[in-house]
């Protein structure tokens, strides 16, 4: 993974989804992606785009799994996309009960919203880190770090 961090500013949810689409098209499996930011900062919009970029046909099917904790989306390329929402979890220990170890596999991509709540469980997994901050009502600043150079270059080219 790269040690570089790149910063992208999106003007509205559509641009955040487009950024996610670019990221999703660069993911190859075996990656864990940590998503951290306040409520309403664009985490789920980015996930919608990642799903689309990985070939999930209907991004409207993608929504935050706050109450079920994990959603699974098969992709046409044979990869699985797991979308985990840790908002309601109290600690990394809570992940054991949902089979977290089974979600981290070479033929899957795992996106974790509110990853800061379960950071201890991510030690040793070398996650791609994506952090969101509010800039204005719809404008977001998004920091992407610890990503493969191919992903960073895809985002830059977009």
Number of helical (H) and strand (E) elements in the chain, helices listed first: 5, 7
pLDDT at res. 71 = 87
Distance CA 16, CA 151 (A): 16
What are the residue ranges in the chain where pLDDT is below 70?
Answer: 1-2, 59-60, 63, 65-68
Two tokens, residue 41: 């900062």
Q: Which of 32, 122, 27, 125 is nearest to 78 (CA)?
A: 27
Options 3.40.50.300, 3.40.630.10, 3.40.309.10, 3.30.1330.10; CATH of 5-157: 3.40.50.300
Domain ranges of the chain: 5-157
pLDDT at res. 59 = 62
């Amino acid at each position: 993974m790269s040690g570089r961090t790149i910063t992208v500013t999106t003007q509205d949810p559509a641009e955040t989804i487009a950024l996610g689409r670019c990221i999703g098209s660069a993911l190859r499996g075996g990656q864990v992606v940590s998503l951290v930011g306040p409520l309403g900062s664009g985490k789920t919009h980015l996930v919608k785009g990642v799903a689309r970029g990985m070939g999930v046909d209907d991004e409207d099917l993608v929504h935050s799994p706050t109450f079920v904790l994990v959603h699974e989306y098969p992709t046409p390329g044979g990869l699985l996309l797991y979308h985990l929402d840790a908002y309601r979890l109290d600690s990394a220990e809570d992940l054991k009960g949902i089979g977290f170890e089974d979600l981290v596999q070479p033929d899957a991509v795992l996106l974790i919203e509110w990853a800061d709540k379960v950071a201890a469980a991510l030690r040793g997994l070398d996650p791609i880190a994506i952090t969101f901050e509010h800039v204005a009502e719809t404008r977001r600043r998004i920091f992407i770090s610890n990503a493969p150079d191919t992903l960073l270059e895809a985002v830059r080219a977009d």
